[in-house]
Copies of this chain bind each other. A is one copy, B any other.
């Protein structure tokens, strides 16, 4: 392989820049030219492509976001758009394509591989940790640290009052961030989309805590399980409990990546370039335990990652 390209696509996640740096410098050290595609598939179709040098990626390992920017592309969802994308790759003599992103982005990469024979390699980047086959995607650890820091700060003020706080975190279909941050933040309960909510039970739990003198409660809500304001309304109406809400929003997605995400991103970047050289096409890099593997993108996008629901019981036990 003489020339490859890479893009970041979908929602950005902390560590994407560390991954870009790793891919660029690994490629260069192996004598491969490497191009950056701006704004994901949209930029590919618009031929927004430029050669990346070592200097381009200096001093970015610690930066949040992505220097290649990201976007969603409607055009790429059409056959016409896909053909255009393939033509542009060929015209630029790009022999391999690395896509860093979530499920939607990987699905796009799989289409290029399966239908147009493009030699693609996927890297899982998503704060939600909803990508099947890998223990962690790039950005998850950073997002979790951001969330528990928020819980810690709110905890200060919560402990000074007799009050219940509701914190809304990301996760449309996946309660991973909510559940894990709840345990690590010492929160009392997490509402997640994977489990039917018996809100009466939770209202009762908070009331019971008041009776026991534990008058501070922190509840985490995954956005897919309801908004913080809707839960607050139920607490007020059913339990006459006054709550305060925080909606973290993109606070979870930005900021400097953690050590773990920088190392994961760096290692996945190296492995991705090596994979393309060794003929691993249509694959995604996956972390299992402490090792990286190649798995078919097909597999990653067709199966649903399960959440360990017994964590709910552990959270309960830890809050006796």
Show the binding face of A for B, using Cβ within 8 Å: 8, 12, 14, 21-22, 25-26, 28-29, 54, 58-59, 61-66, 69-71, 135, 141, 144-146, 148-150, 152-162, 165, 180-181, 183-186, 214, 228-229, 244-251, 253-256, 258-260, 262-263, 266, 270, 288-291, 314, 317-320
Contacts and interface: CB of A to CB of B under 8 A. Distances in A.
A200 to B, nearest CB: 24
A255 B54 contact: no
8 contacts: A26-B318, A59-B186, A61-B184, A135-B290, A148-B259, A156-B255, A245-B249, A246-B251
B157 A253 contact: yes
A290 to B, nearest CB: 5
A156 to B, nearest CB: 3
B153 A61 contact: no
Nearest to A55: B214
A318 B65 CA distance: 20
Given A145-B145, A183-B262, 11 more contacts: A22-B318, A63-B156, A64-B153, A135-B290, A144-B259, A148-B262, A152-B255, A153-B251, A165-B249, A245-B247, A245-B249
A220 B243 CA distance: 23
Q: Output the residue of A28, A150, A249, A314 with the most chain B CB within 10 A.
A: A249
Nearest to A247: B247
A270 B314 contact: yes
B249 A244 contact: yes
Given A145-B258, A160-B12, A62 B266 contact: no
6 closest residue pairs by CB, A with B: A289-B289, A64-B156, A246-B249, A156-B254, A65-B160, A247-B247
